[in-house]
Amino acid sequence: MSVRRLAEDQVQPAAFAFNDENAVWAEATIRKYPAGRQQSAVIPLLMRAQEQDGWVTKACIEYVANRLEMPFIRVLEVATFYTQFQLKPVGKRAHIQVCGTTPCMLRGAEDLMKVCQRKIHHDPLELNADGTLSWEEVECQGACVNAPMVIIFKDAYEDLTPERLEEIIDAFEAGRGDEIKPGPQINRYFSAPEGGPQTLLEDVKPVRTNLEPQPTAEEGATMPPAEAGRPKDTATEVNPAVKTPVTDKEGAEAQAKAAEQQPLSATAKSEPDPKSAGSAAEGAPPEPGAVSGDLKPKRSRKKTEKDT
């Protein structure tokens, strides 16, 4: 990706204005956005200006910035970021953008660029002798499956060979660009396999029995009970030796009685006597890592006037 700068001052026009039709369109486009969000129209307006004049001029950027009440630098940032905006005059009949990203490069993009160098100009973004054609390398245009490809204005020409690109360039130079069908230039339908579909060739009728008409309850339809969670046989599923409150009622009652009595005696045994605990701790050196029985934080505070 090359550095994108505005064209030299010598080629910049002094002013810019939309023609009548585009001015009406621009006002309608700006009104599409909510109040305070008119700046969102910056890309549509720049693109329309490019379609009108062939490229985005400095005066055009200033015009759009004023119209949308944006800082000039903000519009300049947009115009210089997107390679779709041409910042200097390009071929009036065709500006060929050759994708040079990896999939296209692996499928022959470099050979396409050699064709452009030979037929248009050695350097990108330079006009041919007649000023009708120009070319440049761009990043991925999203048609990698049909690589290599080029973009001319708004159309993509895919599955190219150097010979086919030569024919396309000749057609555009002769003013017959609209005779070339955009898209794949081989026997391919959009991004389908070359030569036609390779899978799902049989006419398979989908089986969707749940869409068949079902009898209603009035017509005698019966809904079988759900079997979910039901055991697969009637065999005992647990070890009979394992007693439960259901299978061992006597044992369960005995346990319940013991549990009723246990809390009192257990509490009496386990609760330490605070006096004896305190006296035992007193004077004895603390065990390493032991926590002191008095966990209350001791805080000292300054005496205030109220205290005195």
- Does 112 sit near ligand FES (CB under 6 A)? no
Tell me the β-bridge partners of 158. 184
96-104, 202-210, 231-239, 264-272 -> range binding ligand FES (CB under 6 A): 96-104
Q: How far is the CB of 108 from ligand FES (least distance, A)?
A: 11
Here the contacts of 289-292 (C-beta below 8 Å, separation 24 or greater) are: none
Contact 101, 140 (CB under 8 A): yes
Q: Name the one residue in this structure whose structure tokens are 């010979």.
A: 163
Single residue of 149, 150, 152, 169 touching ligand FES by CB under 6 A: 149
Single residue of 68, 70, 79, 104 touching ligand FES by CB under 6 A: 104
- Does 103 sit near ligand FES (CB under 6 A)? yes
- Does 90 sit near ligand FES (CB under 6 A)? no
- Does 111 sit near ligand FES (CB under 6 A)? no
Cα–Cα distance measured from residue 66 to residue 28, given in angstroms and rounded to the nearest whole number? 17
Q: How many CB atoms lie within 10 A of CB 159?
A: 19
- Does 168 sit near ligand FES (CB under 6 A)? no
Residue 86 or 141: which CB sits closer to ligand FES?
A: 141
Residue 210 makes CB contacts below 8 A (sequence gap 6+) with: none
Q: How far is the CB of 192 from ligand FES (least distance, A)?
A: 17
95-103, 200-208, 212-220, 252-260 -> range binding ligand FES (CB under 6 A): 95-103
- Phi, psi of 134, rounded to the nearest 5 degrees: -155, 170
Residue 6 or 105: which CB sits closer to ligand FES?
A: 105
Q: How far is the CB of 109 from ligand FES (least distance, A)?
A: 7
- CA 231 to mean position of chain CA atoms: 48
Q: Which of residues 119-148 bind ligand FES (CB under 6 A)?
A: 140-144, 147
Closest CA to 80 of 56, 48, 63: 56
- Phi, psi of 85, rounded to the nearest 5 degrees: -90, 125
Closest CA to 184 of 172, 197, 195, 198: 195
- Does 101 sit near ligand FES (CB under 6 A)? yes
Q: How far is the CB of 113 from ligand FES (least distance, A)?
A: 12
Closest CA to 50 of 101, 100, 7: 7
Q: Which residues bind ligand FES (CB under 6 A)?
A: 99, 101, 103-104, 140-144, 147, 149
